[in-house]
Amino acid sequence: MVPVYTILIVGGRKPMAGHLVPVLNDQGYHIVVARTRKEAWAKVHEAHPALIVLDSPSLRFNSHRFCQALQKAAHEIPVLMLLPEGEKIDRSVGAHAYLHYPFSAEKLLDRIDGLLEVLRVGDVVFKTNQRCVIRGERETHLTPKQARLLETFMRHPGEILTRAFLMKQVWETDYVGDTRTLDVHIHWVRKAIEEDSRSPVYLRTIRRLGYCLQAPEEE
């Protein structure tokens, strides 16, 4: 699978989140690990991570001070701080999000996807801020309207969306007399996410009703 983003996990010798690395790898994230403050700073500059996860309970240095220094030096990189169960959140630290132990792999993935603006339906991954869709080893960049159309579908998985609804959401119009533009954009979205756009299994036409985006295994 084409890597979705690079994530830097900063943890001690036995990071509590270490067992979750394979889960993130399976979801397309490229994981880089740092054990010390010095190594973490080096990885920030070498790996150019899209997100930094601070495994606070396992660190031997002050994670709060490190996070504050990180925000001053590389404030554009979002930080997810993992905290011990019951620890009070200190918003002055500057992390973009916090997650208390214990948590499931699904909860961690949801939080990371949210911070990186990644949407998923089945094995279709959409990086909304880059208008880039990934399916296996294929990566496709979409036009603004194509991206907005796909995002609308992915935010309503399993729902039947009418042509009128799609025209309103994507083109901001109530006019549905001629929807050939919609048909063309549906075609290109299918080219991006389907193995065979002529026989779609994800983005299906629901006769007389509209369209539905759904992972095949969810049928």
Question: pLDDT tens digit string along 79-110?
Answer: 999 999 999 999 888 899 999 999 988 999 99
User: CA–CA separation, 191 vs 180, rounded Å?
Assistant: 17
Q: What pairs with residue 3 in β-bridges?
A: none
**Does 174 map to a domain?**
yes
Are residues 50 and 131 located together in one domain of the fold?
A: no
For the chain, the domain total comes to: 2
pLDDT score, position 219: 43
Are residues 111 and 135 located together in one domain of the fold?
A: no
Which residue among 71, 97, 116 closes a domain?
Answer: 116
**Does 141 map to a domain?**
yes
pTM score, whole prediction: 0.88
Which residue among 116, 145, 161 closes a domain?
Answer: 116
Nearest to 8 by CA among 38, 42, 34: 34
**Does 11 map to a domain?**
yes
Question: E strands, the chain, where?
Answer: 6-10, 30-34, 51-55, 79-83, 97-100, 118-121, 124-127, 132-135, 138-141, 160-161, 203-206, 210-213
User: CA–CA separation, 193 vs 125, rounded Å?
Assistant: 9
Tokens at residue 197, please?
């756009």
Note the pLDDT tens digit of each residue in 120-171.
999 999 999 999 999 989 999 999 999 999 999 999 999 999 999 999 999 9
Are residues 79 and 126 located together in one domain of the fold?
A: no
CB within 8 Å of 66: residues ≥ 6 apart: 10, 37, 40, 54, 59
Tokens at residue 58, please?
């396992």
Which residue among 93, 116, 139 closes a domain?
Answer: 116
Range of the domain at 22: 6-116
Note the pLDDT tens digit of each residue in 66-78.
999 988 887 689 9
Task: Output the average pLDDT for the chain.
Answer: 91
